[in-house]
Amino acid sequence: MHDASVSDGGHFRAAILALLSLLAMTLLPLASDAGVLPEDRADLLYHRYDGGGVTIHGPSLLVRKTMAEKYSVSANYYMDMVTSASIDVQVSGASEYKEERNQYSLGFDYLRGKTTYSVGFTNSDEDDYKAKTASFNISQDLFGDLTTVTMGFSRGSDTVRRRDTITDRIDNNFSEPVERWSYRVGVSQILTRTTIMSLGLEVITDQGYLNNPYRSFRYVDPENDTQYKLATEIYPHTRTSNAVSLNARYFLPYRAAIHGGYRFFTDTWGIGANTFEVGYVHPLKATPWTFEASFRYYDQSRADFYSDLFPSIDFQNFMGRDKELSTFTSKSLHLGASYEFAKTGWRFVKRGTVNLYYDRMQFDYDDFRDARNRSLAAGTEPLYSFGANVFQCFVSVWF
Amino acid sequence: MDATGTSQRSVGTSLDVWKGATSRPSLLLLRNGDTSFLSPLPLWERARVRGVSRCAAAALALLALSACGNIEPWVKPYERQALADPIMSLDPNPVSSAYIDHVYEAREGARGALGSSGGGCGCN
């Protein structure tokens, strides 16, 4: 089953490669006149996620600057400070843990005619997980700038380590690699004077140690079938996923915007997912305030090798109980307020905004049970669900 | 099982069979009422012709796409005032969208086609 589905992913990837080559050959000779690089801006953000026994917070700083009208450099620093006593940590019997993740990204864009070439490098560093990603993108404006076609490729290389949950030290005998490939194609299209839409397609292939080394699957205790035991998860060593997204934005006559989007996802692990999103942006007339609201709905079907409770420890070759691989839905309500300052400029600043965003997320699992209460018979526990509050506060300055 | 191996397997086509064929078609190739073996050309020659036809079709497609470069824009530059409004940006705040995409990617099975990426997750 797994081999066949990986082969389907290979066909998909081959088709994407052919499409990339075709577009590259077609678009390059069309370069003429001048395109536009992203605006010069700096953003400083503080984020906080609180839900399911997990708190993650930290800063993010993004700066982008154009040079000689055809080069643009961007740099991003991002940090996660994690305190976790999630349901997975509690079921495993471990105690609350803390860790930090630091991520640095550098990007360089070169504009030639209507073509923008971009390269980027990202380095993410945790005690027990290191990830390096290099990416290349090419973007072309077409048809009087009504259409922008973007193609991209990324290559990632990760190292998975493991912390001993008793001594809280990194296990020097455990180090596993993961290799990643990503292929992307995107088109954004101006449809009318008030409507723009975009289409995105991405194929991602991973190979290596794809488990979370701290998580376990549970199986029926052979000596007492009302209880369960835990064993280290066994994942396939490859995964290929396909995602297609369609987004549109419409300008309303009284200066407001509505937007909507849909994403379809499948992968070789058997997961299928749909994401829907609708939103509304409303600048308050004659004031510096802009308000926005959106609603996001997500559903997914479980991976083929997922089960909340396996009948035995050697039931099948791959076994996982990550709740992210189960059947579930998530719903999110997003509210945001932005205040614009220095609208007519101040010293080197062209304009700026202060923004406060709040997201309320709700995750409801259909086949992942709350196994923390061991007084209940295994497999009869209530289904798990949790809510999360996500805050973002950021200042943006254009210069 | 590895990604490279599956890629090589998956791009293999019936052309590989054609290359090794003789002028007498194998019964294995006759499916869905295919009568192409009645052609006077040997199989390898027909495969070559088919390849040339594909190249010609691709070249025509390229030419058609290139010709599209002369399409008259139906929304003139001076009619794009609404589209230039910051509220119409598809990704008005990259620092925020990258963050929220990361939040979802760590908690959901789906990934990709979002326009941002990052490593690690702190999601245990």
Dihedral (CA of A8, A13, A16, A17) sign: negative
List per-block mean pLDDT (blocks of 10 residues) for chain B, which spans 124 residues. Answer: 34 33 36 47 57 62 57 84 93 95 95 62 39
For residue B106, give the chain A residue with the closest CA.
A324
Do B27 and B56 lie in one domain? The reply is: yes
Is residue B124 domain-resident?
no
Q: Are residue B61 and residue B95 in the same domain, yes or no?
A: no
How far apart, in whole angstroms, are the C-alpha atoms of residue A218 and residue A232?
9
**Residue A103's closest CA among A138, A56, A52, A169?**
A56
Say what the pLDDT of residue A167 is.
80
Is there a single domain that holds both residue B39 and residue B83?
Answer: no
Query: Within this chain, do residues B61 and B81 fall inside the same structural domain, yes or no?
Result: no
In a shared domain, residues B66 and B12: yes
Q: What is the pLDDT of residue A165?
A: 74
Total tally of structural domains belonging to chain B = 2
Q: What is the pLDDT of residue A397?
A: 97
So what's the pLDDT on residue B12? 32
In-domain check, residue B89: yes
CATH fold of A2-398 reads Porin (2.40.160)
Helix (H) or strand (E) holding A16: helix A2-27
* DSSP structure string for A180-226: EEEEEEEEEEEEETTEEEEEEEEEEEEEE--S-TT-EEEEE-TT-TT
Sorted by sequence, the CB contacts under 8 Å of residue A96 that are 6+ apart come out as A83, A84, A85, A89
Global pTM reads: 0.81
The count of C-alpha atoms lying within 13 angstroms of the C-alpha of B108, restricted to the half-sphere facing its C-beta, is: 29
Q: Are residues B87 and B63 in the same domain?
A: no
Same domain? For B66 and B82 the reply is no
Phi, psi of A69 (to 5 degrees): 60, 0
Written as one letter, the residue type at A243 is A
Residues B85 and B41 in one domain: no
Q: Which of residues 91-120 of B touch A (CB under 8 A)?
A: 93-96, 98-100, 103-104, 106-115, 117-120
Q: Is residue B94 part of a domain?
A: yes
Q: Kindly write down the DSSP assignment for every residue of A98-141, as one continuous string.
A: EEEEEEEEEEEEEEETTEEEEEEEEEEE-SSEEEEEEEEEEEEE
A257/B117 Cβ within 8 A: no
Please tell me whether residue A11 adopts helix, strand or coil conformation: helix
- The answer to whether position B114 is within a domain reads no
> In the prediction, which pLDDT does A36 show?
86
| Residue B65 sits in the same domain as residue B10 | yes
pLDDT tens digit at each of 399 positions of chain A: 333 333 444 555 555 555 555 444 444 444 345 688 999 999 999 999 999 999 999 999 999 999 998 999 999 999 999 999 999 989 988 888 899 999 999 999 999 999 999 999 999 999 999 999 999 999 999 988 899 999 999 999 999 999 887 787 899 999 999 999 999 999 999 999 999 999 999 999 999 999 999 999 999 999 999 999 999 999 999 999 999 999 999 999 999 999 999 999 999 999 999 999 999 999 999 999 999 999 999 999 999 999 999 999 999 999 999 999 999 999 999 999 999 999 998 999 999 999 999 999 999 999 999 999 889 999 999 999 999 999 999 999 999
A193 reaches B (C-beta below 8 A):
yes
| B101 located within any domain | yes
Helix B3-11 and helix A2-27: axis angle, to 10°? 70
Q: In this structure, what token pair is assigned to residue A357?
A: 């965003």
Residues B88 and B59 in one domain: no
Rounded distance, CA A146 to CA B76, Å? 9
Task: Give dist(CA B43, CA B23) in Å, integer.
Answer: 5
Q: Are residues B10 and B50 in the same domain?
A: yes
ipTM reported for the complex, 2 dp: 0.91
Question: Which of B:42-61 have CB within 8 Å of A?
Answer: 58, 61
pLDDT of the residue at B21: 35
| Structure confidence at residue A216 (pLDDT) | 93
Q: Is the dihedral of CA B85, B91, B94, B100 positive or negative?
A: positive
Q: Would you call B122 and A80 a contact, using CB atoms and an 8 Å cutoff?
A: yes
Domain of B20 in residue numbering reads as 3-70
pLDDT for position A74: 97
**Based on the domain organization, do B22 and B59 belong to the same domain?**
yes
Beta strands at A256-267 and A129-142: parallel, antiparallel or unpaired: unpaired
